[in-house]
Chain A
Amino acid sequence: MTVASAAPATPKQPRRAPRSLVLLWPVLALLFILAFNLAFTPGFFHVEVKQGHLFGSLIDVLKNAAPVALTGIGMTLVIATGGVDLSVGTVMAIAGQLTVLLMESEHYHWSMPTACFAGLGVALACGIWNGILVGYVQIQPIVATLILFVSGRGIAELISNDNLTAHSVPFQYLGRGFLFGLPFQIAIVIFVLLVVGLLMRRTAAGLFIESVGNNPVAARFAGINERFIKLLVYSFSGLCAGIAGIVVASNNANADPHNTGLNVELDAILAVVIGGTSLLGGRYSLIGSIVGALIIQAMDTTILTRGVAVEWTLVVKAVVVVGVCLLQAPKFQRLFRRK
């Protein structure tokens, strides 16, 4: 609506919509999915209090979107520099596996916080490895992160080839607990988002990242240490994947080296892209990526709640994704504006 009124006012078609409008389409897409459910899925909006916390499909959407939202936050910054991180899914598996092993194995029996920090530490190390390969060795990001994408699951299986059960109650709180009646996972996402948002706004980091993505050569001539910025964003993406891995292990009270984080990298990239961040780098939107993660999860939950036949789920998902992407494509938008 705002676009329609703003467009004729400017004489030249602006190459990019103003910042405030980036969120318009993803939010509209999310509202569309919710409106569909309001109309056709009885009980989707039903929220009740059970055992002192909120219970309902909407709460599920918020909770289950957390892993993709967390990896999506890291992915947003990576994509903003014009890169991509394919290794987030396997890094999740590594972090989850190591954390639970250190806590539960009779061999180590670490306390929950130390084990979690160890898990985050190894995830950070994975991120640093990616950052060095991309920033300093200057390997193409897709190839550099492919290395951990392939070998990461092997590393997780090497840590322990078994499904490990996490009995620790404080550990289970991370993924299964509730804060103010809402799943604690939501609090984790908000916390990470706030920290990153503040860092990007209050320091020049956000500007540096965008300039590296827009034009790395110009950024270097302007005195920005482009390599270090890349190292930074990949390290951060690794850390985010580590948090996501621990959250998933906690939610399942179980670490699974074979399945944790499987295909999450694809969902994270999708969340970032439908959230309005260009894969070419430059402008990015953290909130957009969160909305993107919510769109994906709302779609998944809708499919499961409505009981779409298994053969159709992926097709339905693809149709919605195509729709959302079309909505955002400038050419497609112009098609309607000309009428």
Chain B
Amino acid sequence: MNKFTLSALLVLSLVVGCSKHDETKPASVTTQSSASTESSAGKVVGFSQIGAESTWRTAETDSIKSEAQKRGVDLRFVDAQGKQENQIKALRAFVAQHVQAIILAPVVETGWEPVLKEVKAAKIPVILVDRGIDVKDESLYATLIASDFVAEGKMAGDWLAKKTEGKANIVELQGTPGAAPANDRKKGFAEAIASHPDMKIIKSQTGNFNRNDGKATMEAFLKSEGKNITAVYAHNDDMALGAIQAIEEAGMKPGKDIIVVSIDGVHDAFQAMVDGKLNCTVECNPLLGPAAFDAVDAVTSGKELPKKTIVKDELFEQDKAKEVIGSRKY
């Protein structure tokens, strides 16, 4: 076998591996048509999005696009295909196009200073959505609009306290150790139940944010604690769905014998609520459009915004799930 065949095979295998990326269109600027200019809007706003890697993110993109259309904003949308260099290129293009504001969903936390200084020099305000950045000079961006993971954990804890009247033996399925949502959702929940002496976390282990590990961890909890468990708190829906299976296989009824609470609000979780197996989920809201354009309006009219704007997350229970499952966007 000569070297040529070898390299040909290697190239082939790489092509197979990369075809996922080739499939999608190269980064390009698409302009959302704006019909009217008479409203308060008529503004030109650039939006640099990370990509379309999950249903959550697609929902976020759709929310911002449709809000722009509603308000008659001329939105310049750029999909960065998960690459920071594409986002930086997009920001420079926005400066050249003299947009009035930029919405940025940063793919990583670092490396934004040089380009944001250029943007600042052009006097264009930047609004960050759903993720923060790490810059020394906070004046480089106007505000960050994001969910508060601590608050989500707290909402779940408060709901459980009310449901169980402050008495529960809880097992906790943690997210991937070290991940910000896992740390913060754990902290928020602990804060919420701290004032209820009869609410105890009797076991807490990681389920790595996925169904398989969530199920295996719950199986072990059911063996060691069994009927002692009154509630499960999972840091995301997938782990809760795994736990639900484990509870069923142990011959108990999830949602009745053991209360199941989780966070995220994905479609499968709503289905589980309709089936009566999941009691509630706190939605981590991707629909940031309205808040983002409120911020745009505020900064362009010269108002100072707090450095962080918290998006209200909503808690869904079973009866509400039935009403809204058809209209869920992600």
Residues of A within 8 A of B (CB): 41, 43-44, 46, 50-51, 55-57, 60, 64, 129, 133, 136-139, 147-148, 150-151, 154-155, 157-158, 161-163, 165, 176, 248, 251-254, 256, 258-260, 262, 300-301, 304-307, 310-311, 313
Contact = CB atoms under 8 A, between A and B. Distances in A.
Contacts of B217: 304
Given A154-B18, A256-B211, A305-B224, 13 more contacts: A43-B224, A60-B219, A136-B1, A151-B17, A163-B211, A176-B249, A251-B215, A252-B211, A252-B245, A259-B211, A304-B221, A310-B174, A310-B206
B17 A259 contact: no
A147 B10 contact: yes
A305 B220 contact: yes
A58 to B, nearest CB: 9
A155 B17 contact: yes
Given A136-B1, A151-B13, A311-B177, A252 B205 contact: no
23 contacts: A60-B216, A60-B219, A64-B219, A137-B1, A138-B1, A150-B17, A151-B13, A151-B16, A154-B19, A158-B23, A248-B212, A252-B215, A256-B212, A256-B238, A258-B210, A259-B211, A259-B212, A260-B212, A300-B216, A305-B223, A306-B224, A310-B174, A310-B205
Contacts of A162: 55
Interface string B1-33: 100011001100110111110010000000000
Contacts of B14: 147, 151
A154 B17 contact: yes
Given A147-B13, A252-B242, A57 B223 contact: yes
B251 interface: yes
B220 A304 contact: yes
B241 A254 contact: yes
Interface residues of B, number: 43
Contacts of B49: none
Contacts of A313: 205-206
A121 B209 CA distance: 30
B212 A251 contact: yes
B203 to A, nearest CB: 5
B220 A154 contact: no
A188 B237 CA distance: 30
Contacts of A136: 1
A162 B58 CA distance: 13
Contacts of A310: 174, 177, 204-206
Nearest to B224: A305
A306 B220 CA distance: 9
Contacts of B205: 304, 307, 310, 313
B147 interface: no
B220 A60 contact: yes
A50 B251 contact: yes
A310 B10 CA distance: 40
Contact of A163 (B23, B208, B220, B238): B238
Contacts of A176: 245, 249
Contacts of B223: 43-44, 46, 56-57, 60, 305
B251 A256 contact: no
B122 interface: no
Interface in B126-160: none
B268 interface: yes
A162 B267 CA distance: 11
A169 B305 CA distance: 54
Contact of B212 (A50, A252, A301): A252
A251 B213 CA distance: 11
B194 interface: no
B250 interface: yes
A254 B220 contact: no
Contacts of A252: 211-212, 215, 242, 245
Nearest to B16: A151
A253 B272 CA distance: 13
Listed residue (B23, B204, B212, B216) with the most chain A CB atoms within 10 angstroms of its CB: B212
Contacts of A300: 216
B238 to A, nearest CB: 7
Contacts of A138: 1
A260 B210 CA distance: 9
A258 B208 CA distance: 12
A161 B208 CA distance: 19
Given A139-B6, A304-B220, A311-B177, A155 B206 contact: no
Contacts of A154: 17-20
A147 B19 CA distance: 14
A304 B9 CA distance: 44
A257 B11 CA distance: 24
Interface in B185-214: 203-206, 208, 210-213
Given A60-B219, A165-B268, A259-B208, A155 B9 contact: no
A64 B242 CA distance: 14
B159 to A, nearest CB: 24
A252 B241 CA distance: 9
Contacts of A57: 220, 223-224
Contacts of B177: 310-311
Contact of A155 (B6, B16, B212, B250): B16
Nearest to A172: B245
A60 B246 CA distance: 11
A139 to B, nearest CB: 7
A265 B245 CA distance: 26
A22 B210 CA distance: 37
A22 B177 CA distance: 37
- The residue in B23, B213, B220, B242 that gathers the most chain A C-beta atoms within 10 A of its C-beta is B220
Interface in B271-320: none
Nearest to A151: B17
Contacts of B18: 151, 154
Nearest to A304: B220
A89 B208 CA distance: 16
Contact of B9 (A51, A133, A256, A311): A133
